[in-house]
């Protein structure tokens, strides 16, 4: 197989993934992982497929603005597969430089011909060649227009989100946040302290030729540069580490669970926090991990088995409804890592910004309040409740907690800084933990530590 056909194959796979993201509102990482498992691509092509998929999603608004200038009809009316083939090709033409322009265009045209016929191939050819005629080598110069529409296009975020973040963070901070969202997210591991230290895990990775560095904020975290399969990393099969973002790791320290305690992880999938809790308790005590999704429960079980943890019980349950039987027995500590809009995770899940609407924030804040109201009755007096999300929307964060505290006078907010590792204590505002991509090089996260004082 020559280089051209290899690239063509990768472009087709990327276009198919993006087609499903568009039509099924699916998560790109799940689709990409499935594609990588099902195909036998070289490491180079695996990396290219990942780059094309995530890069096209990150810069979709800017790409669409380019394409719309060359179309006689709205881009949304274009065949979904062809629309995403055009996006992938424009991303390669204007954001990457490894493939000559003529080759990228020719490969796209051939793929369009094979998938939709000669007329569509001619359409793709015309659009792409018209774009190339106006390609400006100096076009990367920063725009001085700070209007919402211009920022939405140039920084590739929906206008409603640009407007919201300017209001909440101010213009310069909102711009920095959006720029950070368009960067590649680091792959972060959490060393399994029951099997090895972080230094030992770092040595194992480096011996295997993996570029790895300790994370700055979490004492168990390791950041690596790898475009390969996570399952092929040294120590994966032996359960020496868990994939978990750095800010997600920090949330668990707020719980400050002790060996022998009974802990409820009310929204447990995929198991990163539940397994971290068990490790910090020396696998002594009981962690009840709930989820209502069979697939989510399977992922928790897979991680438990690989990490060889004994203290976690996995149960299917809807946390918006009453817990029954043994599940309703009192807990020393409860973690509610609530379903949320995910707006703090746009580096890892860029498709979210194109799938979410402001109405989702209002809907989810109601669900979050409902879960808190349901689980609070199972917490012992003196017990600790940690509420966390991976979003940056106040309606899902501070406002949920403030409403809860107003209705539950037996609870008080505790200063999160007292429980975080020293290096992470600057990440607290008004007693709340808040991780920001542009400041901390992590996913955006929020958490509040509440104690039941009576």
Residue 321: which CATH number?
3.40.50.150
Residues 390 and 295 reside in one and the same domain: yes
Tracing tokens 């209705």 back to the chain, one arrives at: 407
CB-based contact 53:14 (threshold 8 Å) = yes
Distance, in Å, from the CA atom of 375 to the CA atom of 335, rounded to the nearest integer, reads 10
Whether residue 156 is found in the same domain as residue 278: no
| Phi, then psi, of 402 in degrees rounded to 5 | -65, -40
What torsion do the CA atoms of 253, 257, 258, 259 make, to the nearest 10 degrees? Answer: -100
- What number of other Cβ atoms are within 10 A of residue 219's Cβ? 17
Query: Token pair for residue 1?
Result: 């197989």
Residue 140's pLDDT band (cuts 50, 70, 90): low
Q: In the numeric block, which tokens belong to residue 231?
A: 């399952």
Q: Band of the pLDDT at 394, cuts 50, 70, 90?
A: very high
What residues contact 390, with CB distance under 8 A and at least 6 apart? 247, 248, 340, 342, 344, 345, 443, 444, 445, 446
Backbone angles phi, psi at 288, to 5 degrees: -95, 115
With b for 16 or more beta-carbon neighbours within 10 A and e for fewer, the 384-409 pattern comes to: bbbbbbbbbbebbbbebbeebeeeee
In a domain, 280, yes or no: yes
CA pair distance 379, 286, nearest whole angstrom: 14
Q: Tell me the pairing of strands 286-291 and 187-191.
A: unpaired
- Mean pLDDT over the full length of the chain: 94
312 lies in some domain:
yes
Residue 177 lies in a domain: yes
Dist. CA 159–CA 149, nearest whole Å: 6
Helix (H, G, I), strand (E, B) or coil at 7: helix
278's tokens: 């068990």
Verdict on whether the full-model pTM lies above 0.85: yes
pLDDT tens-digit readout, 316-349 = 999 999 999 999 999 999 999 999 999 999 999 9
Q: Write down the residue that tokens 């691509």 correspond to.
A: 41
331-337 and 379-389 strand pairing = parallel
Q: What's the confidence (pLDDT) of residue 141? A: 54
CA dihedral 10, 13, 17, 20 (to 10 degrees): 150
Tell me phi and psi for residue 235, to 5 degrees.
Answer: 95, -5
Query: Residue 137 — pLDDT band, cuts 50, 70, 90?
Result: low
**pLDDT at residue number 138:** 54
In-domain check, residue 269: yes
Residue 414 has pLDDT above 50, yes or no: yes
Structural domain tally of the chain?
3
d(CA 66, CA 316): 47
Q: Which two tokens stand for residue 94?
A: 């204007």
For the segment 157-171, the average pLDDT, to the nearest whole number, is 98
Same domain as 79, residue 38: yes
Burial 234-251 (b: 16+ CB within 10 A, else e): bbbeebbbbebbbbbbbb
Please, what sign has the CA dihedral across residues 387, 391, 392, 397? negative
Structural domain including 63 reads 3-133
Locate 80 and state its tokens. 């979904």
Per-residue pLDDT at 377 exceeds 70 = yes
Shared-domain flag, residues 93 and 162? no
Q: In terms of domains, do 251 and 368 share one?
A: yes
- 275 and 154 share a domain? no
Q: How many CB atoms lie under 10 A from the CB of residue 263?
A: 25
Question: pLDDT per residue over 220-267, tens digit each?
Answer: 999 998 756 888 899 999 999 999 999 999 999 999 999 999 999 999
Over range 48-68, report the average pLDDT.
97
* pLDDT tops 90 at residue 43: no
Q: Tell me which of 38-47, 64-73, 205-214, 268-277 is least confident.
A: 38-47
Residues 399 and 320 in one domain: yes
- 87 lies in the same domain as 162: no
Specify the pLDDT at position 177: 98
For residue 3, pLDDT over 60 is answered with no
Give the residue from 91, 84, 121, 87 showing the smallest Cα distance to 106: 121
In a domain, 238, yes or no: no
Q: Are residues 92 and 14 in the same domain?
A: yes
Question: 40-44, 311-315, 400-404 — which is least confidently predicted?
Answer: 40-44
Provide the token pair at 136.
């400006």
- In this structure, the answer to whether residues 174 and 31 fall within a common structural domain is no
pLDDT of 181 over the 50 cut: yes
- 11 found inside a domain: yes
Distance set, CA 343 to CA 158, 338, 357, 366, 396 (Å): 12, 13, 11, 17, 11
Of the candidates 15, 13, 60, 18, the residue with the CA atom closest to the CA atom of residue 37: 13
432 beta partners: 429
Tokens (6 digits) for 368: 């979050």
Report residue 344 CA to chain centroid gap.
7
Q: Has residue 187 been placed in a domain?
A: no
Domain assignment present for residue 217? The answer is no
- Report whether the peptide linkage leading into residue 270 is cis, meaning its omega lies within 30 degrees of zero: yes
Average pLDDT value for residue range 374-391:
98
Nearest partner of 211 among 198, 202, 221, 220, judged by Cα: 202
How large a percentage of the chain has pLDDT more than 70? Answer: 96
Residue 2: pLDDT band (50, 70, 90) is very low
For residues 276 and 252, is the Cβ–Cβ distance under 8 A? yes
Taking a C-beta distance cutoff of 8 angstroms, is the pair 435, 238 a contact? no
**Number of Cβ atoms within 10 Å of the Cβ of 48:** 23
Q: Looking at the structure, tell me whether residues 299 and 444 fall in a common domain.
A: yes
Task: Verify that 26 and 153 share a domain, yes or no.
Answer: no
**Which of 276, 419, 251, 207 has the alpha carbon at shortest distance from 344?**
251
Give catalytic residue positions. 390
250: left (phi over 0), alpha (psi -120 to 50) or beta: alpha
With 80 as the cut, is the pLDDT of residue 106 above it?
yes
CATH number at residue 87: 1.10.940.10
């Amino acid at each position: 197989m020559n280089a051209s056909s290899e690239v063509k194959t990768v472009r087709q796979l990327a276009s198919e993934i993006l087609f499903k993201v568009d039509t099924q509102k699916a998560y790109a990482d799940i689709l990409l992982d499935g594609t990588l498992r099902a195909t036998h691509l070289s490491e180079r092509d695996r990396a290219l497929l990942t780059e094309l998929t995530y890069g096209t999603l990150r810069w979709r608004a800017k790409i669409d603005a380019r394409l719309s200038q060359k179309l006689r009809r709205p881009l949304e009316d274009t065949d979904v597969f062809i629309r995403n083939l055009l996006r992938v090709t424009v991303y390669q033409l204007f954001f990457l430089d490894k493939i000559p322009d003529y080759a990228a265009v020719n490969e796209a045209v051939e793929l369009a011909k094979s998938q939709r016929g000669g007329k569509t191939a001619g359409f793709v050819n015309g659009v792409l060649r018209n774009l190339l005629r106006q390609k400006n080598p100096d076009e990367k110069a920063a725009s001085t227009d700070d209007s919402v529409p211009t920022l939405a296009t140039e920084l590739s975020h929906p206008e409603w989100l640009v407007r919201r973040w300017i209001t909440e963070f101010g213009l310069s901070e909102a711009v920095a946040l959006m720029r950070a969202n368009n960067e590649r997210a680091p792959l972060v591991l959490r060393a399994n302290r029951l099997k090895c230290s972080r230094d030992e895990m770092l040595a194992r990775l480096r011996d295997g030729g993996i570029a790895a560095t300790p994370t700055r904020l979490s004492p168990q975290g390791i950041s690596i540069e790898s475009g390969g399969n996570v399952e092929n990393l040294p120590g994966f099969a032996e359960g020496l580490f868990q994939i978990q973002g750095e800010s997600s790791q920090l949330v668990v320290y707020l719980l400050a669970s002790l060996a022998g305690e009974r802990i409820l992880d009310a929204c447990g999938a995929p198991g990163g926090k539940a397994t971290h809790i068990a490790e910090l308790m020396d696998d002594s005590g009981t962690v009840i991990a709930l989820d209502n999704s069979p697939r989510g429960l399977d992922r928790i079980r897979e991680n438990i088995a690989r990490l060889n943890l004994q203290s976690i019980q996995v149960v299917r349950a809807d946390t918006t409804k009453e817990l029954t039987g043994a599940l309703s027995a009192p807990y020393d500590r409860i973690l509610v890592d609530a379903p949320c809009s995910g707006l703090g995770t746009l580096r890892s899940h860029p498709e979210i910004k194109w799938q979410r609407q402001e109405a989702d924030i209002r809907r989810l804040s109601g669900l979050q309040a409902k879960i808190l109201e349901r689980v609070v009755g199972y917490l012992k007096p003196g017990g600790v409740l940690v509420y966390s999300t991976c979003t940056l929307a106040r309606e899902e964060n501070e406002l949920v907690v403030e409403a809860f505290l107003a209705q539950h006078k037996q609870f008080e907010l505790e200063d999160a800084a007292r429980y975080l590792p020293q290096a992470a204590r600057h990440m607290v505002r008004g007693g709340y933990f808040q991780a920001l991509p542009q400041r901390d090089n992590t996913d955006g996260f929020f958490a509040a530590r509440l104690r039941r004082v009576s």
